[in-house]
Structure 1
Amino acid sequence: MGLFDKIFQTASEETKLTQQEAFAGIALAMAGADGSIAESEWNGIVNYIRRLKIYDNFSGPAFDKLFDKLFKILKKDGPSALVNASAAELSDDLKLTAFACAVDIALADGVIEEEEKDIINQLAEVLGVPEKTAISIIEVMIIKNKA
């Protein structure tokens, strides 16, 4: 297996994600990109999810089940595979939102690690975010997270 195969590996074929799992998977992959999930990153995930209509019918146990599944993929296959599995199942109308959410989460702890930069670049590619749009989103999120 080559270096790029390891970076862009995908989660197991039997792991198909719902729309809700896919969005949360991108957020979780971003938060776990550097090997740990800071409290500020976790809070960012929770805050985004609470505002999205696709989670309106989710209860506590449903969220537990969703995150259990995603944490298993993250632990077993890594953040890059979780990104690929999530991006494959995410609808077009949620792709920019997921990208913005991921960038916001990466910036939440005030430090952008190299692994987080790699995931942001991967996300822009697999979600089809145009470079100009990606740069604009990143600039806005940097401003948002300065305070």
Structure 2
Amino acid sequence: MGLFDKIFNEVPEEDKLSKQEAFAGIALAMAGADGSISQAEWDGIVNYIRRLRLYDNFSGPAFDKMFDKLFRILKSQGASALVASSIDGLPDDLKLTAFACAVDIALADGVVEDDEKDIINQLAESLQIPEETAISIIEVLIIKNKA
């Protein structure tokens, strides 16, 4: 990483994310990687989040505030920047789960665009997921999404 990369890749203080925001941020970045968020992708995000204990204490207004912040980052800085911000706030015990969620969302609409593939690759590398593990997760989620 060059000197300018270090300066421009620093996450502004207002964009630092809690673990809840970070998990949802990865999901949202995956859904928005191709420039739009389909209903199937949005439903995938909501379904994942509602099942996780991580969000047990979140009310409707808390969800709205969280997604307002994440959409702001996504719109102003793009999906890759949202992934980078999210990775900083994601604890180790949620990395595989966040990766699986992102892959599932990418597969939800039946088409994995090149931008989505790029985000999946960025996630696998940034989250330090071994290639064999990443491939296994992708294969299982392809099977899940065929039905």
What is the TM-score of this pair, normalised by structure 2?
A: 0.93
In structure 2, what is the Cα distance between the partners aligned to 1:131 and 1:82? Answer: 23
Unaligned runs of 5+ in 2: none
The residue that corresponds to 2:113 in the other structure is 113
Query: Which residue of 2 is the match for residue 92 of structure 1?
Result: 92
Paired position in structure 2 for 1:39: 39
Q: Which moved more, 1:10-19 or 1:70-79?
A: 10-19
Match of 1:72? 72
Distance, in Å, in 1 between the alignment partners of 2:125 and 2:9 is: 15
Q: Say which SS state the counterpart of residue 63 (structure 1) adopts.
A: helix
Shift of 1:89: 1.0
1:110-135 CA distances to partner (integer Å, 9 max, x unpaired)?
Answer: 00000000000000011111000000
1:13 aligns to what?
Answer: 12
Root-mean-square deviation (CA, aligned residues, Å) is 1.4
Q: Aligned-pair distance for 1:88?
A: 1.1
Q: What amino acid is the match of 1:48?
A: Y
Structure 1 unaligned regions, length at least 5: none
Q: 1:52 to 1:10 in 2, by over 3 A?
A: farther
The separation in 2 between residues aligned to 1:11 and 1:43, in whole angstroms, is: 31
Q: CA deviation at 1:25?
A: 0.1
C-alpha deviations, 1:64-90, integer Å up to 9, x for none? 000000000000100000001101110
Q: Partners in 1 of 2:117 and 2:9 — Cα distance?
A: 19
| CA distance in 1 between partners of 2:89 and 2:127 (Å) | 10
User: Cα offset for 1:12?
Assistant: 3.8
Residue 141 of structure 1: aligned partner = 141
User: What percent of counterpart residues are identical?
Assistant: 77
User: Number of residues paired by the alignment?
Assistant: 141
* Rounded Cα–Cα distance in structure 2 between residues aligned with 1:48 and 1:128: 22
Q: Which residue of 2 aligns with 1:62?
A: 62
Secondary structure, in 3 states, of the residue corresponding to 2:62?
helix
**Are the counterparts in 2 of residues 34 and 115 from structure 1 also a CA contact under 8 Å?**
yes
For 2:121 and 2:18, how far apart are their aligned partners in 1?
A: 23
CA distance in structure 1 between the partners assigned to 2:52 and 2:9 by the alignment = 26
**Structure 1 outlier segments of 4+, above 4 Å:** none
Q: CA deviation at 1:11?
A: 6.7
- Match of 2:125? 125
How does the TM-score come out when normalised to structure 1? 0.93
Q: How much does 1:10 deviate?
A: 3.9
CA–CA distance in 1 between the matches of 2:57 and 2:18? 14
